[in-house]
Amino acid sequence: MNYHDRRSAGRELAGELGQRGRAGLLEKPVVLALPRGGLPVADEVARELHAPLDVVVVRKIGAPFNPEFAVGAVAGEDEPWYDGQTLEMLDLTPERLAPRVEEERREIRRREHLYREGRPPADLAGRTAVVVDDGLATGSTARVALRAVRRRGPARLILAVPVGSPQAVVALSREADDVVCMWQPPYFQAVGQFYDDFAQTRDDEVVTILRESLTTR
């Protein structure tokens, strides 16, 4: 049942969201991708909805002993979010993680500058913001993305992903007005296990997708 790649997953997700759009449930949608992996998925959704496409850049905060093990996440200059239980279990403090947070903020600034090419963030006032990623494992970056987008004042906030752990979907249903998740396998370990092709999306691919969206939508 694996998705072939992010584009094929995006088309399935787009089909579900397209039905909701035609039913009048997505008023003036704006699609916001979590780069980099969320861009190909979000592009398919934006095409189906005839909606603008933008990014919300979030970075996970990795543990000192393993940068891939997320203990929290941060968006822009916002206060970082931490999983308190994980910090306690690993005997970590926000103060100890401060250098890692600043490192991730620098990467966020680099990506926003590169991806937006001087364009301002999308205006979300009175619109439905659809936040899209390629999947949910712990949901830490999606949680922070939703909170950052909520502060920008959308009329409605939706999280949409092709696949996610049931636990993350339940947790994030408290952050979004609606969570659309096509597949919630109980044996979830990592997002990549549900894709045949899970090659990393490159910066230049993100820039190309965003540029093309400006001329087609």
**Do 43 and 27 belong to one domain?**
yes
Q: Note whether 64 and 52 are same-domain residues.
A: no
Note whether 30 and 96 are same-domain residues: no
What's the chain's length in residues?
217
Q: Are residues 149 and 203 in the same domain?
A: yes
42 pLDDT band, cuts 50/70/90, is very high
Same domain, 90 and 166: no
Share of the chain above pLDDT 70, in %: 99
The confidence score (pLDDT) of residue 68 equals 81
* Statement to judge: residues 127 and 211 lie in one domain: yes
Closest listed residue to residue 57, CA positions, set 43, 36, 78: 36
Same structural domain, 96 and 163: no
Long-range contact list for 155-159, CB < 8 A, 24+ apart? 155/27, 155/28, 155/125, 155/126, 155/127, 155/128, 156/26, 156/27, 156/128, 156/129, 157/128, 157/129, 157/131, 158/26, 158/128, 158/129, 158/130, 158/131, 159/131, 159/132
List beta partners, residue 160. Answer: 132, 180
Co-location of 147 and 190 in the same domain? yes
Number of domains in the chain: 2
Q: Where are the alpha helices (DSSP H) in 79-122?
A: 84-90, 94-116
Same domain assignment for residues 22 and 69: no
Q: The domain that contains 184 carries what CATH number?
A: 3.40.50.2020
pLDDT above 90: residue 175: yes
Q: In degrees, to the nearest 5, what angle opens at C-alpha 147 toward C-alphas 60 and 13?
A: 80
**Predicted pLDDT at 96:** 94
Whether pLDDT at 206 is above 90: yes
Is residue 84 located within the same domain as residue 166? no
Residue 216 has pLDDT above 80, yes or no: no
In a domain, 44, yes or no: yes
Residue ending a domain, among 97, 115, 133, is: 115
pLDDT tens sequence across 135-167: 999 899 999 999 999 999 999 999 999 999 999
Residues 88-140: pLDDT tens digits? 999 999 999 999 999 999 999 999 999 999 999 999 999 999 999 999 998 99
Same domain, residue pair 41 and 145: yes
Q: Which of 85, 115, 145 is the last residue of a domain?
A: 115
Give me the CATH number covering residue 64: 3.30.1310
pLDDT single digits (tens) 70-88: 899 999 999 999 999 999 9
Band of residue 65 on the pLDDT scale cut at 50, 70, 90:
confident
DSSP-assigned letters across all residues of 5-28: SHHHHHHHHHHHHHHHHHTT-SSS
Q: Is 64 found in the same domain as 52?
A: no
Q: What is the pLDDT of residue 95?
A: 95
The verdict on residue 1 lying in a domain is: no
Task: Report if residue 47 sits inside a domain.
Answer: yes
Reported as a pLDDT band with limits 50, 70 and 90, residue 217 is: low
What digits encode the pLDDT tens for the residues 3-41? 999 999 999 999 999 999 999 999 999 999 999 999 999
Which residues lie below 8 Å from residue 214, measured CB to CB, with a gap of 6+? none
Domain that residue 190 falls in: 6-56+123-216
Rounded average pLDDT over 176-200: 96
Residue 153, pLDDT score: 97
The pLDDT score that the predictor gives to residue 10 is 98
Are 136 and 191 in contact, with CB atoms under 8 Å apart? yes
